Chains A and B, each alone.
Chain A
């Protein structure tokens, strides 16, 4: 069965520091991978996605993620965090060979301190 693990429930970083959020997935083939961001009281917004090809993908708001097949990981990174990045971040796998179902991780809550 497909699954997504986000090992960090909560992360705190200082504004201007770099950020890496971890995501590991369990799947029999190369899945479609996604990162979403959720601000308080809001729906989810797509940050970036990976389907195939270049394993480093760029997204909106200065985020990037790297797909590492050998580690079954799809970690999200940002070189310099802004206070407005404080939110909940979700990694997801779905589409493609999973059929029409999507599986989300439990989320990582990001706090940014000035």
Chain B
């Protein structure tokens, strides 16, 4: 039981490039979330999903897209990366939509 895993762990992008972050969970959780963590700002919710095939916007969705084609995976996409998207990205999942289990994070730098 690996819990919540995130791929990749680190990535450097140039402005304008695109990439996809993968979150996978093996706990059969319905709910999944993407957060970004910036110094002095805590975690902010980007997008979330309440089940396979569903997605919804969180607090800071602009510049990101997500997909939940399979229950165990939640993908976060950046179509045209900007330096303001330099951050640490955390994925989380939840069975009840209340208690969340977090992945180890992806550190993204956009130059």
Contact with B along A25-42 (1 / 0, CB 8 A): 000000010101000011
Given known contacts A42-B104, A43-B90, A44-B90, A104 and B43 CB-to-CB distance under 8 angstroms: yes
Residue A79 CB within 8 A of the other chain: no
B interface residue count range (under 10 / 10 to 19 / 20 to 34 / 35 or more):
20 to 34
Residue B102 CB within 8 A of the other chain: yes
Contact with A along B42-66 (1 / 0, CB 8 A): 1111001010000010110000000
Name B73-111 residues within 8 Å CB distance of A.
Answer: 90, 92, 96-105
Instruction: Say yes or no: A100 contacts B104, CB within 8 Å.
Output: no
Instruction: Say yes or no: B100 contacts A102, CB within 8 Å.
Output: yes
B-to-A contact residues, CB < 8 Å:
4, 31, 33, 35, 40-45, 48, 50, 56, 58-59, 90, 92, 96-105
A-to-B contact residues, CB < 8 Å:
4, 9, 32, 34, 36, 41-46, 49, 51, 90, 92, 94-96, 100-107
